[in-house]
Amino acid sequence: MSKILDDVKTTLDFASEEDTGFDSRLLLEIDGALGTLSQLTNVHPEVDVTKETEWDQLLYSGDKHLLRLVKQYIYISVRIVFDPPTGSVLTTLTSSLNNIAHRIIIQKEVYNAKPE
């Protein structure tokens, strides 16, 4: 499984994953998005976001559909706060983020129960 930070850098069009100048800020924003996600779905509470954290560490379940939604949510959340677009692009991204949040809730309720 790939590393969260590397994938986020790719979606933000960083020239190289080796560019570490913004890593601490990106990790802070990723952690913030995970905080919000923890209110939407069952994010594993023991996850500490570092440059080595991988996607499969985030969730209790192996639900690939939920993981896809979580990835989209983190990508868009970080994009909005790290490199905010203007005008209609910001409106579209915010609308997409709200839509994904709704889909995460549905996916969690229908397919995933929190482990006892």
pLDDT (tens digit per residue) in 71-114: 999 999 999 999 888 999 999 999 999 999 999 998 877 665 55
7-35: b (≥16 Cβ within 10 Å) or e: bbbeeeebeeeeeeeeeeebbebbeebbe
Task: Report pLDDT for 33.
Answer: 95
Whether residue 116 is contained in a domain is answered as no
Residue 50 is assigned to a structural domain of this protein: yes
The domain tally of the chain equals: 1
53 falls within a domain: yes
pTM of the model: 0.88
24-36: pLDDT as tens digits: 999 999 999 999 9
Chain-centroid distance, C-alpha 48: 14
Containing structural domain, residue 94: 4-111
Q: Classify residue 100: in a domain, yes or no.
A: yes
Instruction: Tell me what pLDDT residue 62 has.
Output: 78
Please tell me the predicted confidence (pLDDT) of residue 112: 59
